[in-house]
Amino acid sequence: MKTSKSDRLFREASALLVGGVSSPVRAFKSVGGNPVFIERGRGPWVWDVDGNRYIDFVQSYGAVFLGHANPLLTKAVTAAARRGTVLGAPVPEEIHLARSIRKAFPMLELIRFVNSGTEATMSAVRAARGFTGRSRIVKFAGCYHGHSDGLLAKAGSGAATLSLPDSSGVPASFVAETRVVPYNDVEALRRLFAAEGREIAAVIVEPIAANMGLVRPRDGFLREIRRMTSEHGTVLIFDEVISGFRVRHGGAVEWSGIRPDLVCLGKIMGGGLPVGAYGGGKDIMECVAPLGPVYQAGTLAGNRAAMACGAAAVDWLATRKPYLALEKTTQKFAGALAKLAESHGYEVQVPWVCGMFTLFFSPRPVVSYEDALACDRPAFSRFFHAALANGLYVPPSPFEACFVSPFHTKKILAGALKRWEKAFRDMGEAKA
């Protein structure tokens, strides 16, 4: 594959941007080499600046669900831009999107729009603390809830890729009120509540973990979290920035049947534009300014372009209902991928849920952050470069999920499996 233009642009970017990128996971540091610069996308395809075409399984890390350059979304953004992208005042599009979200998540009596998933989780934690009058927060190892100081503890995703489970620049006092429990470990959570339950303001969790690779919750795990938080008057926060509108129209709330107190949304909800939201019952959300003393604000929050684009995306999903078909497609594809890897002598795990999967180079199931860290990273690095060379665009990290959209047709996925088979064969030749 040609890379001369991407290599040149990376040299130029490295003189201007930190590490040559605007987000750490876009760098190829953990797998070696230089990142490719993407010039354009259409549906499930992307093209880099050197003209290489890829089947896209990154999908902007889950933000693009209706395919790149979707005409419906392009039309919505263009129409909004003609009337002013951001006006510093309420706009009707906020009401439209909020109503569409509530139809999907009826428990969200009040919603606040923000600009990113990080803002949503940070603000939800603040609201939980304000509501309960407590300060302690519980998160799970390997779950990433954005880069706010109090939640950067064993955060998975980019931090794990760079071998930085905690971030420099975060004072110890900022995470002193954060407790970290192994994902899927009910007994550890039970012991923590027994010792500190009266001090815990909130438990925040990715109901389907997707930032240490895809890790499904064990049967009963989410139900037990709900039971313990209810018993101790603790706010349960579902971080659905990735799972919201992906695994079901009502996200992991609908998928699991578990009702949290607050839900954080982003990515798909914005149709590909920067957006986030958090919401829940009136009892908690009325603590947020201007109704209550918990302050949170944002100049670009609720901007017309993101609201219009998000409403078009969410309404399309509500009308088309692609989830059951996509779930079958994902299951079939993940199973075929696992068989391909095994036929070439690789021990792998390919956990999946609707629209998401991860290829773990591991002989045993991955159910926790520790399991993910124990996977064969050199094998993943060889796999990544072989996949890229064969026209498969996958995340440059073993701790990210791959994404499948309703626009990855059977024909495209069949072609992807042929490319994957070639990639596994090239891996073996590279190792030899």
The string of pLDDT tens digits covering residues 26-60 is 988 889 999 999 999 999 999 999 999 999 999 99
Residue in 296, 298, 264, 293 with CA at minimum distance from that of residue 130: 293
Owner of token pair 């069949």: 414
End-to-end CA distance of the chain: 21
192 close to 232: Cβ distance less than 8 angstroms: no
Q: Provide mean pLDDT across the span 229-245.
A: 98
Using CB atoms within 10 A of its CB, is residue 244 exposed (0-12), middle (13-18) or buried (19+)?
buried
Residue in 120, 117, 124, 118 with CA at minimum distance from that of residue 149: 118
Task: Examine the residue annotation and report whether 332 is marked as an active-site residue of this protein.
Answer: no
> What's CA 201's distance to the chain center, in Å?
24
What is the structure's pLDDT at 87? Answer: 92
**For 43, which DSSP code?**
B
What is the structure's pLDDT at 154? Answer: 60
Residues 48, 56, 61, 144: which is the catalytic one? 144
148 close to 264: Cβ distance less than 8 angstroms: no
Residues 48, 56, 239, 261: which is the catalytic one? 239
Q: Provide mean pLDDT across the span 48-75.
A: 97
Instruction: Output the average pLDDT for the chain.
Output: 94
Q: Provide mean pLDDT across the span 123-147.
A: 95
pLDDT at 159 exceeding the cut of 50: no
Residue in 353, 354, 350 with CA at minimum distance from that of residue 334: 350
Rounded to two decimals, the pTM is 0.94
Q: Provide mean pLDDT across the span 386-397.
A: 96
What is the structure's pLDDT at 432? Answer: 55
| Cα atoms in the 13 Å half-sphere on the side-chain side of 265 | 31
- Name the band, by pLDDT with cuts 50, 70 and 90, for residue 91: very high
266 to each of 13, 152, 214, 243, how far by Cα in Å?
A: 28, 19, 18, 9
Q: What whole-number distance in Å separates Cα of residue 96 and Cα of residue 91?
A: 10
Residue 251 gets the label, from left (phi > 0), alpha (psi -120 to 50) or beta, of left
Element (H, E) at 278: strand 276-280
- SS3 assignment, position 424: helix
Task: Examine the residue annotation and report whether 339 is marked as an active-site residue of this protein.
Answer: no
DSSP string, 160-187: HHTT-SB-TT--GGGSTTEEEE-TT-HH
264 close to 235: Cβ distance less than 8 angstroms: no
Residues 183, 267, 278, 371: which is the catalytic one? 267
Q: Provide mean pLDDT across the span 402-427.
A: 96
pLDDT tens digits, one per residue of 247-266: 999 999 999 999 999 999 99
Task: Examine the residue annotation and report whether 239 is marked as an active-site residue of this protein.
Answer: yes
pLDDT tens digits, one per residue of 290-338: 999 999 999 999 999 999 999 999 999 999 999 999 999 999 999 999 9
Q: Provide mean pLDDT across the span 73-81.
A: 97
What is the structure's pLDDT at 431? Answer: 63
| Cα atoms in the 13 Å half-sphere on the side-chain side of 311 | 23
Q: Provide mean pLDDT across the span 366-391.
A: 96
